Structure 1
Amino acid sequence: MIWHLIGAIFAGLGAAGIGLLLRKVSGKRLPRWIIPALGGLGMLGYQIQTEYSWYEHKRSLLPESARVVQAEQDAMFWRPWTYLFPMTTAFSVVDEQGMTVQEQDGEKRVEFLLYRFEKQAQDSVSHQTWLMNCATRETLPLAGESRQPQLDALRRLTAEAPLYRAVCVETD
């Protein structure tokens, strides 16, 4: 967080320096307010670039075996540009190496960890162990160390769902 603040300050100083240089080159025909205006635009531009590159940066830090199964994009009224270009604010990942495959009664069942990354003031990562029955495309979370199934959270996925494809189809 402190590094983003330092980066924004230096981006603002650099852009203000460009404004000062433009004012000098123009023989002081440009108004004085060009310097702080460009400084503010430099800081804003740095912040926007940082926010939009968050998703790609986090993805680049994941291991090769991690597969993104869901990405959420959002628009916010205090960031009006996100209505034109929505920003990725969260995504879910399955680590293919951490899957446990079991055959039971002729049905394939896969236990896996689902990680969720959220962009907030302080980035957060949460994870939950899930169990998926590949034959019925049903998935449910497993709670605690004892991995007790939470039957009230049972959901059925479509055959095209990225989570189903990552866990069942591409592990064959």
Structure 2
Amino acid sequence: MLLEFIAIIAAGFGLAGLALSLNIALRRRLPQWIVPASAGAGMLLMAIWLEYSWFERTTSTFPDGVEVASTNQARSWYRPWTYVVPLTNRLIAVDHRADRRHPDRPDQVLTRVILAGRWEPTRQFGVVYDCRARRRADLLDEVELDGSGELKNADWLQLPADDRVMRAACGG
């Protein structure tokens, strides 16, 4: 967050410097408001770029085996440009590197889910998906796995058939 603030300030100074240089080269023929307006435009454009590039910058750091399953797109009145191009501000990813299947329960997959959001800490937690019954159980402290692969004390949540995270975890 601090680095983005510094980048926004630097962009403002940079565009203001270009406007000032252009005004000097034109022998002060530009209006006086051009330098502060350029600084504001530079800061606004940098902030917009940082917002829109967050998703690509975040997902580019994911290692191979991490699949983005779902994203959230937002529009807001104080960012009118988001009505033209919605802003991606959250994502849910499945870490296939952590996938495990029990031989007695081939329709169930234990995997890791990653939740990431703009200006939020990234969270990871274990989940078991029952691909045939279309349900999910989050691996909390009281959940236990017995020798036959059955979960004890699990709260199963029924999922719709088109749940994108379940489809990604189950392999399509």
Alignment-mate amino acid for residue 112 of structure 1: T
How far apart, CA to CA, are the structure 2 residues paired with 1:90 and 1:21? 40
Residue 158 (structure 2) pairs with residue 155 (structure 1): yes
Mapping 1:21-170, distance limit 5 Å: 21-104=21-104, 107-120=106-119, 123-144=120-141, 146-147=143-144, 148-151=153-156, 154-158=157-161, 160-169=162-171
- Normalising by structure 2, we get a TM-score of 0.86
Alignment-mate amino acid for residue 113 of structure 1: R
How far apart, CA to CA, are the structure 2 residues paired with 1:46 and 1:156? 40
Deviation per CA, 1:3-27: give whole Å up to 9, x if none. Answer: 1122111111110011112212222
Residue 12 (structure 2) pairs with residue 12 (structure 1): yes
Shifted more, 39-48 versus 127-136: the winner is 127-136
Deviation per CA, 1:88-109: give whole Å up to 9, x if none. Answer: 110001110101112436x521
Query: Number of aligned pairs?
Result: 164
Percent identity between the two aligned chains: 30
Gaps of 5+ in 1: none
- 1:146 deviation in Å? 3.7
Shifted more, 132-141 versus 70-79: the winner is 132-141
- Normalising by structure 1, we get a TM-score of 0.86
Note if contact 2:136-2:158 (Cα within 8 Å) is conserved in structure 1.
yes
How far apart, CA to CA, are the structure 2 residues paired with 1:58 and 1:25? 41
Alignment-mate amino acid for residue 144 of structure 1: D
